[in-house]
Structure 1
Amino acid sequence: MNRRDALKKTALAFGAAAGTPTLLSLLQACAQTDRVTWTPQFLNEDQARFISAFVDFLLPKTETPGGLDVKADVFIDLMYSKTYDEAAQKQVVADIEKFNADCKAKFGKVFAELSQEDKTACFKDQEANSPKFAPKVWGTGVGPQEPVGFYRSLKSTVLWAYFSSEEIGKNVLSYDPIPGEFRGCMPLSEVGNTWSL
């Protein structure tokens, strides 16, 4: 399984649980924002650069659009601005500063300025040392869920924003705006691509 497929499965699982109308309306608002003139609503310039670098490293542009192409970073800034209370906003700022401080201590630079190799090493370290989401059965968590921390929370939000975007839903995933007949038993080979609806 390649990296993009693994991320797709993670995001689809997260999206099923997190797809609230408020977040979806924020995602639609981001699609209309012009990247050239984008001014962060909540983040300062350095924090916005961190989020954009995180998004771009996690979901770079390949034969499909990348995270920056669907403005996942714009969405995250808007989400922090519109849905987080003051305490949660302060925590996000502290978490970004800590993430960058850890990068600087280990690699000599903040995350946005790291080489691809150092960003890879940083992600591997975060992946190994961050709590995981509890296993799920049919979308329901099994057992208690400990806090997953900033890295995994941000990663999940980026993936949700990416796979919930109109661009990806219509042009990358299979999409049928008016579903047809129900075929309960069909060969897996006929299913094809993952569906956005």
Structure 2
Amino acid sequence: MNRRDALKKTALFAGSAVAAPTMLSLLQACVKQDRLTWTPQFLGEDHALFISAFVDFLLPKTETPGGLDVKADIFIDSIYAKTYDEAGQKNVLAEIEKFNADCKVAYGKVFAELSPEDKAACFQAHEANSPKFPKNVWGSAVGPRESVGFYRSLKSTVLWAYFTSEEIGKNVLSYDPIPGEFKGCIPVLEVGNTWSL
């Protein structure tokens, strides 16, 4: 399984747990933003650079659009600006600064300035040491709910922003705004691509 396929499967689980109409309207508003003139609503320049670098490394442009192409970083800034309270916003800034401070200790630079190899090593370390999402049944958590930490929370939000964007929903995933007949029992191999609706 390649990285893009693994991310698609991860995003399906994460996206179903986080989806909300308010978030979708924020994402649609971000599509209209011009990257060249975009000014963060909440993040400072260093924090915005971190978010953009994180998004770009997690979902680089390949044969499909990358995370920056669908403006996932702008969407995340909008989430922080419009849906987080003051305490939550302060926590986000502190977590970004801590992430960058840890990168400086381990690699000598903040995350946005790391080489691709060091970014990969940083992601691997956080992947191994970050708490996992609780097990769920049909999108509902089973067992105690504990914080998954900043890294996994941000990663989940980036994936959700990416897979719920109009560009990916219409041009990468299978999209049929007016589906035909329902076929309830077909072989898995005939399902094909993941569906956006």
| Bin for the TM-score computed over the shorter chain | over 0.9
Q: Over residues 120-177 of structure 1, what are the superposed CA-to-partner deviations in whole Å (9 max), with x where a residue is unaligned?
A: 0100000011000011222222211210000000000000000000000000000000
Q: Tell me which residue corresponds to 1:92.
A: 92
Secondary structure, aligned partner of 1:42: coil
Number of equivalent positions? 197
CA separation in 2, counterparts of 1:149 and 1:187? 38
Secondary structure, aligned partner of 2:62: coil
CA separation in 1, counterparts of 2:17 and 2:134? 13
Segment drifting more, 10-19 vs 102-111: 10-19
Moved over 2 A (4+): none
Q: Tell me which residue corresponds to 1:30.
A: 30
Deviation at 1:38, TM superposition (A): 0.5
Q: Over residues 93-133 of structure 1, what are the superposed CA-to-partner deviations in whole Å (9 max), with x where a residue is unaligned?
A: 00000000000011000000000000001000000110000
* Identity of matched residues, %: 79
Q: Tell me which residue corresponds to 2:127.
A: 127
Q: Tell me which residue corresponds to 1:14.
A: 14
Deviation at 1:10, TM superposition (A): 1.1
Q: Over residues 58-117 of structure 1, what are the superposed CA-to-partner deviations in whole Å (9 max), with x where a residue is unaligned?
A: 000000000000000000001100000000000000000000000001100000000000
Q: Tell me which residue corresponds to 2:79.
A: 79
CA separation in 1, counterparts of 2:134 and 2:17? 13
Query: Within the alignment, does 1:103 sit opposite 2:99 as a pair?
Result: no
Which letter does structure 2 place at the counterpart of 1:123?
A: F
Q: Tell me which residue corresponds to 1:168.
A: 168
Which letter does structure 2 place at the counterpart of 1:124?
A: Q
Secondary structure, aligned partner of 1:96: helix
Which letter does structure 2 place at the counterpart of 1:195?
A: W
Query: Within the alignment, does 1:182 sit opposite 2:143 as a pair?
Result: no
What is the TM-score when the length of structure 1 is the normalising length?
Answer: 0.98
Segment drifting more, 125-134 vs 137-146: 137-146
CA separation in 1, counterparts of 2:24 and 2:59? 20
Which letter does structure 2 place at the counterpart of 1:57?
A: F
Secondary structure, aligned partner of 2:70: coil
Segment drifting more, 5-14 vs 133-142: 133-142
Q: Tell me which residue corresponds to 2:47.
A: 47
Segment drifting more, 187-196 vs 78-87: 187-196
Secondary structure, aligned partner of 1:33: coil
CA separation in 2, counterparts of 1:2 and 1:137? 26
Unmatched runs of 5 consecutive residues or more in structure 1: none
Unmatched runs of 5 consecutive residues or more in structure 2: none
CA separation in 2, counterparts of 1:27 and 1:90? 22
Which letter does structure 2 place at the counterpart of 1:155?
A: K
What is the TM-score when the length of structure 2 is the normalising length?
Answer: 0.98
CA separation in 2, counterparts of 1:123 and 1:17? 23
Q: Tell me which residue corresponds to 1:61.
A: 61
